[in-house]
Structure 1
Amino acid sequence: MSKEFFQKIAAIQQNLKAPKNLNNSFGNYAYRSCEGILESVKPLLDGLVLSITDDVIAVGDRIYVKSTATLTDGENSHSVSALAREPMSKKGMDDAQVTGATSSYARKYCLNGLFAIDDSKDADSNEHKQQEKNFKPDVVLSEFTGNAMNISNIKTLKAEFGKTWKLLDNTPEQAKAKEVYDIRKSELEAA
């Protein structure tokens, strides 16, 4: 890798601002999308070309999307890859949408790696404090309850419960979420 090429990548990494400007209402957290990163990075490319490719990989009965982001100046190139696994099913999505969402997720994380985007925030940051202040455990519990009743597979139910359990850590709603989980699990086992 030439020194000039390396310096261009370093300049992008230093100057890129890709804010978490989207909100997940279920988990009540801010996030950035692949599209948001691309919009932010294009003005900084300075003659470099960015491309992203996807490969679909089967491992047993599971499907993974491997996304690779590559920066090139025509002579030098630098690539970073990331994997995301397709869920067995996703409520309200057809197969093409599930694959598209998985691709978008993998692409976001390969871009994070290529441009040294840190997805975490310091616990003392204003963003972290804002998220804490806006956190509504009752909304998380309500959304989990509604979703749990529509889940028809114990493995998926367990995964959703695991996420909810972490979100509701040290809240009274955490025990209520466990009750919902136990009831729905019993229903699925009886079916």
Structure 2
Amino acid sequence: MNRSDKVNEIFKALTKFRENVKQPVKDKKNPFFKSDYVTLEGVQKSIDEALKDTGLSYSQIVSDSEKGTSVSTIITHESGQFIETGKLTLPPTKNDAQGNGSAITYARRYQLSGAFGISSDIDDDGDKASRPAKSNYGNTRAKKQYSNNAVDAKKKLFDGFVVLISKKLNSDVQTVKSQIVEQAEKKPEWSNGDSNVKAMIMLNIAEAMKKQVSTNK
């Protein structure tokens, strides 16, 4: 994380921001994961309303790399002090305008939510779905984003890819799974502990492997 030499004024302003902020209503449905969340516009609206009279502002920088689309967020203060987050890099589900646009929107929403402490996804209390290892960001319950249905849907899609790849490679399923996990863990964005990011990485690797073996056949 980059920051100005002094941060006393921006920290005071962020404290005032936290006193002003009202968490947005989760009024958008994700039909695939059967969960509620806040849109990027909803997150921005909540932040913009709480920024009044704090001297704070923000901007987001989007960049591309071979690994996907990256977004970083810069919070600035009228004093000249600033804080810049690290980059969140996401591979698009499809390498086209729609896929890249979705990855950018997703990354911007999560960057803003994390930087300003906005709850943009429903908290299912921890819980009934598979329990992930505790992330570097602390509170696992607050980070939990999948319901039982979401986990089942993700697992079914991933397992389907693995079975197809295994058949085409004449390999066992467990070996293919191990190869995918090994490739996924080499991605820099894997270390951020976000289950959504990890799921997207593994699914994209599995899909890419399926396409590759299909082409080779």
Aligned equivalent of 2:202: none
TM-score when normalising by structure 2: 0.49
Instruction: Quickly say closer, same or farther: Cα 1:22–1:63, change in 2 above 3 A.
Output: same
Say yes or no: does 1:108 pair with 2:106: no
What CA distance in whole angstroms lies between the structure 1 residues aligned with 2:115 and 2:67? 26
What CA distance in whole angstroms lies between the structure 1 residues aligned with 2:216 and 2:80? 62
Say yes or no: does 1:63 pair with 2:64: no
Aligned equivalent of 1:23: 29
Instruction: Quickly say closer, same or farther: Cα 1:22–1:109, change in 2 above 3 A.
Output: same
- Conserved? CA contact 1:69–1:111, under 8 Å: no
Runs of 4+ in 1 over 6 A off after TM superposition: none
Matches within 5 A, 1:140-179: none
Give the SS at the match of 1:87. Answer: coil
Aligned equivalent of 2:138: none
What CA distance in whole angstroms lies between the structure 2 residues aligned with 1:67 and 1:98? 19
What CA distance in whole angstroms lies between the structure 2 residues aligned with 1:33 and 1:81? 22
- Conserved? CA contact 2:67–2:90, under 8 Å: yes
Instruction: Quickly say closer, same or farther: Cα 1:136–1:114, change in 2 above 3 A.
Output: closer
Q: Which amino acid aligns with 2:77?
A: T
- Conserved? CA contact 1:69–1:81, under 8 Å: no
Instruction: Quickly say closer, same or farther: Cα 1:81–1:20, change in 2 above 3 A.
Output: farther
What CA distance in whole angstroms lies between the structure 2 residues aligned with 1:74 and 1:31? 34
Matches within 5 A, 1:3-152: 3-14=8-19, 15-47=21-53, 48-58=55-65, 61-87=66-92, 89=94, 94-95=96-97, 97-118=98-119, 119=121, 121=123, 122-123=125-126
Matched residues, number:
148
Instruction: Quickly say closer, same or farther: Cα 1:81–1:37, change in 2 above 3 A.
Output: farther
Q: Which amino acid aligns with 2:47?
A: V
Give the SS at the match of 1:53. Answer: strand
Q: Which amino acid aligns with 1:117?
A: I
Give the SS at the match of 1:18. Answer: coil
- Conserved? CA contact 1:54–1:103, under 8 Å: no
User: 5+ residue gaps in structure 2?
Assistant: 1-5, 128-140, 162-167, 169-175, 185-197, 200-209
TM-score when normalising by structure 1: 0.55
What CA distance in whole angstroms lies between the structure 1 residues aligned with 2:10 and 2:93? 41
Alpha-carbon deviation of 1:40?
A: 0.9
Residue by residue over 1:63-112, the C-alpha shift from the partner in whole angstroms, topping out at 9 and shown as x without a partner, is 2322223232242223324413232626xxx42x3222222112112212
User: 5+ residue gaps in structure 1?
Assistant: 149-153, 164-183
Residue by residue over 1:153-190, the C-alpha shift from the partner in whole angstroms, topping out at 9 and shown as x without a partner, is x99xx99xx96xxxxxxxxxxxxxxxxxxxx99x9589
What CA distance in whole angstroms lies between the structure 1 residues aligned with 2:150 and 2:62? 39
Percent identity over paired residues: 22
